[in-house]
């Protein structure tokens, strides 16, 4: 329903706002203080949840802002996390030259990059009318 879509888009705006750091990466968790959101855990582990939501909302609405936000997040991964043999999480998203944690979590390839790929793919590639994703981003056909 329209009411649920409005809530989903507002939640997405909140999730995206967490990427407004000097690195363009979100921290692991946040504190909400009245009208402000503050980074509580400054690490970034390359998690997929935000880009998954961007992909689903783009496919549901066709609103290009979700692709734009996904592109900004991808560029931040490229700028701050890319290393010779893959990608690394960062220790402090609030520092422009963030120290790397020297770990690429398995979900980065299996989920984060998959959802980014699907965000920029035509909507008939793993259509949400025919496929659902489990918690590990494996597509499962809807019977």
Catalytic one among 9, 28, 78, 111? 28
Chain position carrying tokens 């998954």: 52
Q: Is 130 a catalytic residue?
A: no
Sign of CA dihedral 81, 83, 89, 90: negative
Let me know if 84 is exposed, middle or buried by CB neighbors in 10 A (0-12, 13-18, 19+): exposed
Q: How far apart are CA 119 and CA 77, in angstroms?
A: 16
Catalytic residue set: 28
């Amino acid at each position: 329903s329209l009411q649920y879509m409005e809530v989903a888009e507002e939640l997405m705006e909140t999730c995206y706002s967490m990427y407004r750091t000097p690195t363009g990466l979100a921290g692991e968790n946040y504190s909400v203080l009245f009208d402000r959101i503050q980074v509580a855990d400054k690490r970034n582990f390359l998690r997929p949840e935000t880009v998954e939501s961007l992909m689903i909302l783009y496919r549901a609405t066709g609103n290009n802002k979700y692709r734009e936000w996904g592109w900004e997040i991808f560029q931040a991964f490229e700028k701050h996390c890319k290393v010779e043999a893959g990608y690394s999480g960062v220790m402090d998203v609030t520092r422009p030259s963030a120290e790397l944690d020297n770990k690429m979590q398995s979900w980065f390839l299996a989920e984060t990059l998959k959802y980014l790929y699907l965000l920029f793919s035509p909507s008939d590639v793993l259509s949400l009318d025919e496929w659902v994703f489990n918690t590990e981003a494996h597509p499962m056909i809807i019977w």
